[in-house]
Amino acid sequence: MSIQETRISDEALTFPAGTGEASVKNRIEGHLRYHYSRRLFVQDVEESEDGYYIKVGIAYPRDVSDCRKQDNVLKMVNIGDVQTLYASPMDEGYYRMKLPDRSDLYDAFKQRHQDILTRLDWSMARAIYSKVYKLTPVRNQLNSVIEIVDFIRHETPDSVRRLENAQTTSNTRDYLDVFEELGYIRIEDGTMLQGPKMESADIQGLQEKDIIGDIIDEGYYLLRQKLGLAMLNHFPKFANAYYLSALRRSDPELHLSVEDIAENLQAEYQDGTTDTWKLGRKLDSLHDVGVLKFQDKEVTSREDVYNSVEPNIPSLG
Amino acid sequence: MLADYREFHPDFPINPGEDADDEEQRKAARNELKTLAGHRSRFGGNFSQLEARLNGRLEDTSFEAYTATQIDLGDLSKILNTETASLPLVELDPEYFDKIDEYDVQPGQFGASETPILIPIQIEDDIVIYWDPLADYYDNSTTNPVEMTLSETTFLRLWSRAERARWTLWLDGQEQKKMAEFMDIDQ
């Protein structure tokens, strides 16, 4: 075989394995970075009987400087597990790795990043639900959920039709599907009965607010995706535009300006709410219900919120 | 680097938009640069196609983009002293961040960091004088780029240890090329 070194041609990377996993990382990382992105990194190399499995991630910079101290800190966010590449053995200690398209790797990265944010939003939704519950837009959107909980607790057993007729929403049935899926109701021949979750909530003497909190906790994805309850992640998203940076720096005392928050929204959520007046109003609401502190155009943590999200967060980078 | 080059070579067709009149122009300029660098949001750009993309854009002009690896300080000096050439871009090893006080770069959970990109402007008396775009990002006291220095030895060590050892990119506008083309036509 005449190949002398590591190289990329015909959409494939060929390399000599050298002395094992660490050597493989050193040999190929630069080439993959040059080919795909300056921000790619090799997260892990695993040798197996049939070749090497190489896990890659993306490292991108986020400014997490404290606006009070002006301490100029650039935090590298490492998004791992973006894709696993496989290199099969060839002759004479060489390996060949077929390279996916750059756009496929980019799509895999976007998906992975999105998954991490969704999990963070969920953690935040659980942590702040009882606070944002008081905000009018949240209450309005959860109105159907609140009504159904009340109906199950006080009117069942009764017919699904009665509830459908009484509710102004046209998709009562969709809500009931979610409630049934989560175990809060049972439906038998058009009759609604309390499900095991609701029976247990009653035995524990839970308040309406706590029951709805549990429903959001367990049904976050379902409620959002099946019923389009965008408010469930609306406020968590604005809260996270601050807490993302604080959590990444492990600094609940971090102060960010409104401009920093706008930049986080844009960079992480691709949300163009960059008008500081509009953003200020959202932050005011979150301040009023105790999700974060927003004073003199600066945002900082609420200790209870920081502490309840911190242990549950996915690896943010 | 581009803004500096355009100051002395106003014909250079790629405008980074720093002197743009309004936000729209600035945005259009930024988008052109992103396309040239193959940049995608957070994912970043790649260098393998950069020279080709730039030269595609510079086709039919007297300008050309060059990249090289394994060049030495003498070559770098030559680029810096070539009047028709732009300032070069170089890549250094991330250990560079430990050497400076202007800002702090914290690696992520897997230890992956940023790769520093600097713009050397002068080499003299065993010192490399350069601009660091990140230092400018963090310094809002002046509109002029912050001039920073590294000893030649440290610079060379970090430049050599970068993945593409001593990777360098620069532009050059050779008047001779134009002349040569004219002569070709005449004959």
Q: How far is CA A231 from the centre of its chain?
A: 15
SS3 A233: helix
Q: Which chain B residues touch A102 with a CB distance below 8 Å?
A: 38, 46
Stretch 60-99 of chain B: residues touching chain A, C-beta under 8 Å:
none
Nearest-Cα distance to chain A for B182, in Å, is 37
> What is the rounded average pLDDT for all residues in chain A?
89
Residue B183 pLDDT > 50, yes or no? Answer: no
* DSSP run (H or E) holding A47: strand A40-48
The structure tokens listed for A32 are 């993959």
pLDDT band at B20 (very low <50, low <70, confident <90, very high): confident
**Structure confidence at residue A4 (pLDDT):** 58
Q: Cβ contact (<8 Å) for B43 and A33?
A: no
**Structure confidence at residue B108 (pLDDT):** 92
**Structure confidence at residue B181 (pLDDT):** 47
Stretch 103-122 of chain B: residues touching chain A, C-beta under 8 Å:
103-115
Residue A75 pLDDT > 90, yes or no? Answer: yes
**Structure confidence at residue A138 (pLDDT):** 86
Cα dihedral B118, B121, B123, B129 sign:
negative
pLDDT band at A274 (very low <50, low <70, confident <90, very high): confident
Q: Which of A40, A60, A73 sits opposite B106 (nearest CB)?
A: A73
pLDDT band at A314 (very low <50, low <70, confident <90, very high): low
**Structure confidence at residue A101 (pLDDT):** 95
Q: Cβ contact (<8 Å) for B106 and A75?
A: yes
Measure the CA–CA gap between A168 and A140, rounded to whole angstroms. 12
**Structure confidence at residue B77 (pLDDT):** 95
Domains of chain A in start order, with CATH, are 7-100 (no CATH), 143-225 (1.10.10), 233-312 (1.10.10.10)
Q: How far is CA A258 from the centre of its chain?
A: 22
Measure the CA–CA gap between B104 and A72, rounded to whole angstroms. 6
Nearest-Cα distance to chain B for A9, in Å, is 12
Measure the CA–CA gap between A132 and A151, rounded to whole angstroms. 23
The structure tokens listed for B55 are 């030269």
Q: Which of A33, A57, A109 sits opposite B110 (nearest CB)?
A: A57
Residue B18 pLDDT > 70, yes or no? Answer: yes
What are the start-end ranges of the H helices in chain A?
A: 21-35, 102-132, 136-141, 143-154, 160-166, 172-182, 196-204, 208-227, 231-249, 258-269, 276-288, 303-309
Q: Cβ contact (<8 Å) for A74 and B110?
A: no
pLDDT band at A118 (very low <50, low <70, confident <90, very high): confident
pLDDT band at A5 (very low <50, low <70, confident <90, very high): confident
Nearest to B42 by CA among A116, A259, A12: A116
**Structure confidence at residue A159 (pLDDT):** 86
Edge-to-edge strand ranges of the sheet holding A158-159: A158-159, A191-194, A185-188
Residue B130 pLDDT > 80, yes or no? Answer: yes
Residue B177 pLDDT > 60, yes or no? Answer: no
pLDDT band at B129 (very low <50, low <70, confident <90, very high): very high
> Mean pLDDT over residues A157-165, rounded?
86
Q: Which of B102, B103, B108 sits opposite A59 (nearest CB)?
A: B108
> Mean pLDDT over residues B36-42, rounded?
90
Q: Which chain A residues touch B113 with a CB distance below 8 Å?
A: 59, 76
- Answering whether pTM is above 0.90, one says no
Residue A1 pLDDT > 60, yes or no? Answer: no
Q: Does B141 touch chain A (CB under 8 A)?
A: no
Stretch 151-170 of chain B: residues touching chain A, C-beta under 8 Å:
163-164
Measure the CA–CA gap between A194 and A202, rounded to whole angstroms. 10
Q: Cβ contact (<8 Å) for A39 and B44?
A: yes
**Structure confidence at residue B176 (pLDDT):** 53
Residue A3 pLDDT > 60, yes or no? Answer: no
